[in-house]
Amino acid sequence: MQDSAITKTELQTRLHSLESKVSELEGNLRSGHSANFSEQAAERENDEVMERLEVEALGEVVAIRNALDRIDADTYGICTGCGEDISEKRLEILPYASCCVTCAK
């Protein structure tokens, strides 16, 4: 298994970039709207897209924070469903996976 210190650094880097992305999206969402009616409609549509991106990013932020907690608790890489080791391959693709392929189904 990969050195957990390396995984931790990678997850923290990813977490920071997600957090700055979220605050950027927040900034855009909170910015004022145009007084023009048709422009307002376009802006609202744009807001919906950004909100979706924000929800997605926040979901990943939570997953990464949980993964970091598991590294600290020394339970990283262990499936929260069945208690078996999560395969290295799965962790490579999804470093913050909390359960194995079987339990994720």
Q: Provide, rounded to whole angstroms, the least separation between the CB of residue 78 and Zn ion.
A: 9
Q: Applying CB under 5 A, which part among 2-10, 14-22, 53-61, 79-87 lies near Zn ion?
A: 79-87
Is 4 within 8 Å of 70 (Cβ atoms)? no
Least gap, CB of 105 to Zn ion (angstroms): 10
Region from 2-10, 25-33, 67-75, 93-101 binding Zn ion, contact rule CB under 5 A: 93-101
DSSP type of residue 77:
T
Interaction of residue 97 with Zn ion, rule CB under 5 A:
no
Positions in the binding site for Zn ion (CB under 5 A): 79, 81-82, 99-100, 103
